[in-house]
Amino acid sequence: MSANVPHLRPVPEIDTAIRAGEPVRGDTWMGLGGLANWMNGHGSMIVPWHFSGHTISNGATDTYRYNVSPKAQTRMRVWVVLARANSVGGQLEIAAPSGASRTTYRLSTVRDRVVPVVFRELVTTSTGTQEITLDLKASGTGTVTVDAVSCYEQTRASIGLDTTDWGVDLESLRPRQPIFDAANVSHPGVCDAYDNLDARRTSLLQWSVPTGDSAHTTSASYLALFETPLRVLAPIRNVSLSPMDYVAYAYIKATGGSVFAQATTAAGAVSNSTSSTSYTWLNVGTLSVACEDLSASDGVPAGSVDTIKIEVKVGTGTRVDIAGVSVIRETKPQ
Amino acid sequence: MTAGTSLLGYPVQIGTATYGAADDPVDTAIMRAGVGNGLLHYADGAGQMRISACYQSGLLTGGGGSSGTVESTPNANQWYLLEGGILGPWPLTCYGDATGPSDFKGYPYRCRVYLRGKTTNASGSCVFALVLCPLGRSLEYLPAPSGAPSPPINFRDHVWISSAVTSTSFAWLTGASRGPLDFANAIQVRPELAQDWTTTENANETSSTLRTVDQVLVALHVYARTSNNAGVPTVSAVSLEEFGGR
């Protein structure tokens, strides 16, 4: 048994349909159950598109690493890579996770003719913050330039009637069906799905380069990693638009001594340090990110969009290397 | 315009103790303000950050590129795809089954967009375009390659055109969507187009469990043109974030 995941989002009417002293129609319950299935069954964008510009040497395999918090329902990840060959006959080989068998794609050398490469990775369901990896190898002729990378969780056709997927059996909500108390069915099934909902905007920012091409500096003052702070907003939370927490991580290492990473939004900065001389995902801190205002045509509260700035510096060592950044929402429901 | 589909604009959490026992009556307040309102609220926030792309500052050594450009010697007044200029495909989040208020039926979530660019020479005035559509369809929606942008066209709020850029320093660009909605920082796909663009995609769950799903797979295409090839259009950042407004 499983619950179908609708392609289009239901918008059940509740203002006039659920009122004290009046019966609630089966159609209303079906709309709510379908809405829960829609949220639990649709995947999230765990790696929003990020620019790279990294060039892979011919014959070399470079690994991209991302720190993500996937949805528990995910069974497939879809990696999409925009890459160009720098010589006619250039190819890209892709594997996910790192070390798995590779699939080969022929690439164009012409900037206006590139076609994104789509690679599907079947995964077992898992939860919690974790590292996922992608191998890219330049084969055929010459080098390959990676322009941009992304990954999304594929939508499920149906989700299970269990306590992992929290699917709701819509047949049990049809008009004239009896109300009864059992898992994943009838009205308690809708309530359980709501209590265990995962509708997160999981990632606001992901960036990765192979460790062999890390960004590095010897500066003892904070230097910005990106050309500009990235513009972001968290999903709507409440009417006063209180900020929502996202956690920033840096994939970072020190060459002697300690190194610092800092992430800044309008609400303030968080920072942390490490003395590790091998790469580690450093929990930089919990960021408060401004929330959307859905009454504005662009969703921006009071005309001001929030930004995230990522910086690194040397503490007492000689050099800081950074090869990854993630800003993710780790806790449900949103 | 609406502040979303929920009644309250914020969630009300409920615990299993409030509904969990067999034979308990179902409390209207829990169902209305808790479950119904909450599901709608969280669905309003379920849009995803699809593109959060920025080149590096150049202040650090290594780590990839610091900007994206078009071909080094572009012809004047011709649209070119930028380096890193096809950001997709990904599945567009859509409202739209037969339930609920009619003004949500079929509409995809709106997308907030920002583009940061410059020209390399002030004598070459550059115009940038963002086109959200399936792969292989973007040329259908670009305006004429030269001259002033034509008047707004129905069904074209999924195309955003910047104002002319003569600055040689990076800046967030101003512009507007090309349809009647005329958004400064957003684009909206019409429901008719979303229906036309729907395809059936692979959603297998194991190597032996074959599944498919319907999706509206789109990519953001980033184009630019210059009035004089001395000025090459260059970008440093692009972002696109779905949100539940309508």
B67/A227 touch (CB, cutoff 8 Å), yes or no:
yes
Which of helix, strand or coil describes residue A146?
strand
B61: which DSSP letter?
B
Which of helix, strand or coil describes residue A211?
helix
The pLDDT of residue A26: 86
One-character DSSP codes across A78-145 = EEEEEEEESSTTEEEEEESSTTSPPEEEE--S-GGG---EEEEEE-----SSEEEEEEEEEEESS-EE
The pLDDT of residue B147: 62
Nearest residue to A134 via CA among A147, A145, A150: A150
Name every chain B residue with its beta carbon within 8 A of the beta carbon of A179: 26
Nearest residue to A155 via CA among A266, A44, A265, A251: A44
Q: For the residues A274-284, what does the mean pLDDT come to?
A: 97
- B139–chain A Cβ distance below 8 A for any pair: no
pLDDT grade for B118, boundaries at 50, 70 and 90: very high
> Which of A20, A219, A236 faces B45 most closely, judged by CB atoms?
A236
The DSSP element (H or E) to which A195 belongs, if any, is helix A186-195
Structure confidence by residue, pLDDT tens digits, B35-94: 999 999 999 999 999 999 999 999 999 988 899 998 778 999 999 999 999 999 999 999
Nearest residue to B13 via CA among A2, A334, A262, A261: A334
Name residue A90's beta-bridge partners.
A140
The pLDDT of residue B149: 63
One-character DSSP codes across A225-278 = SBSSPEEE-BPP--TT---EEEEEEEEEEESSS-EEEEEEETTEEEEEEE--SS
Q: Based on C-alpha coordinates, what's the Rg of chain A?
A: 23
Name every chain B residue with its beta carbon within 8 A of the beta carbon of A251: none
Amino acid at site B236: S
Contact at 8 Å (CB) between A255 and A316?
no
CA angle, B191 then B197 then B200, to 5° = 120
Structure confidence by residue, pLDDT tens digits, B19-31: 666 666 677 888 8
Amino acid at site B145: P
> In angstroms, what CA-CA distances link A140 with A58, A87, A161?
8, 9, 47
Range name among A11-20, A28-37, A196-205, A288-297 with the lowest pLDDT average: A11-20
pLDDT at A64 over 60: yes
> Which of A19, A150, A223 faces B59 most closely, judged by CB atoms?
A223
Structure confidence by residue, pLDDT tens digits, A218-264: 999 999 999 999 999 999 987 777 899 999 999 999 998 999 999 99
Name every chain A residue with its beta carbon within 8 A of the beta carbon of B97: 6, 8-11, 34
Cα-Cα-Cα-Cα dihedral sign, residues A76, A292, B236, B185: positive
- A213–chain B Cβ distance below 8 A for any pair: yes
Count of CB atoms within 10 A of residue A276's CB?
Answer: 13
> Which of B80, B135, B244 faces A294 most closely, judged by CB atoms?
B244
Nearest residue to B34 via CA among A183, A239, A191, A199: A191
Domains and CATH numbers, chain A: 2-42+158-195 (no CATH), 45-153 (2.60.120.260), 203-328 (2.60.120.260)
Nearest residue to A321 via CA among A285, A287, A280: A280
Structure confidence by residue, pLDDT tens digits, A179-189: 777 889 988 89
